Amino acid sequence: MATETKAVDPKSTDAKAAEAKKKAKAPLTANVALSLDAKVHTRLTRMAKAEGMELGHYLQKVLETHLLEQAEEGDPVADRLRAKRAVIDHVVTLAQMLDKDGKFDENFVLTVMKSAAQDADFMKLYNTAIGGEGKKGVRQQKPLNQQLGRLIRKAANAKTKRSEEGKAMRAQVSGEIISSYSLLARVEKA
C-alpha cells in the first residue's frame, strides 16, 4: 500500500488558518516564580510600599523598565508596554483625583473607567496597550482591565464589597470600556 505525501505550501489557506488558530490559543500572560533571599524580599516589599504598589506589580514594573531600556526603536512590544504604563498612570491619577473630589461609591471602578474613556488621547493609548481595536484587542483587554480595577481599588483605599455569604460582589455593564467590575467598599480604619 503506497502512502502519498504532499508538501504544504506555508502560505496556503489551511496553513494560515492553522497558524492563526495556534496564535489564538497562545497565552496572553506568563507567570514567573522567583526564589528570593528573605532580606531581598523584605527590601523589595518596602520599596514597593514606598511606591504605593504591591510587590508583584512593583517587580513587574522593574522588569518592564529593564525591557524598555533595552528595546530598539519601533519595537512593538516596547510600544505596547509604554502605552500600557501611560494608561495605568492616567487611571491611577484619575482615580485619586475623583476620590479626592468625593466621587467614591460602590461603582467607583466604572466611574473612573467611564471618565477615562471620554478622553480621545487616553483611548488611543488604551488601544495601543491592548494591541488594537475590535477583535484584535479583545484578548489583551481583559488582563489590562483586571489590573486597572485592582489599581483603582488601591488608589481609593478600598476593598472588594462582599455579600453576606462572603462572596465578591460584581456588576455587569455593556457599551463601556469594561464589561464587568468589582463593587467597592471603603477599608475600615483601625
CA 6 to the chain's CA centroid: 44
Distances (CA, A) of 59 to 14, 27, 36: 41, 20, 12
Q: What is the pTM of this model?
A: 0.74
Kind of pairing between the strands at 180-182 and 170-172: antiparallel
* Size of the chain in residues: 190
Tell me the pLDDT tens digit for each residue of 58-90: 898 899 999 999 999 999 999 999 999 999 999
Q: What pLDDT does 5 receive? A: 40
Q: How confident is the prediction for the chain on average, in pLDDT?
A: 86
Percent of the chain with pLDDT over 70: 83
Assigned C-alpha cell, 45: 516589599
Q: List the chain domain ranges.
A: 38-70, 76-190
Do the beta carbons of residue 61 and residue 50 sit within 8 Å?
no
CA atoms of 159 and 174, how far apart (whole Å): 23
Rounded Cα distance between 22 and 103, Å, is 44
Q: What is the pLDDT of residue 11?
A: 53
Tens-place pLDDT, residues 83-142: 999 999 999 999 999 999 999 999 999 999 999 999 999 999 999 999 877 666 677 888
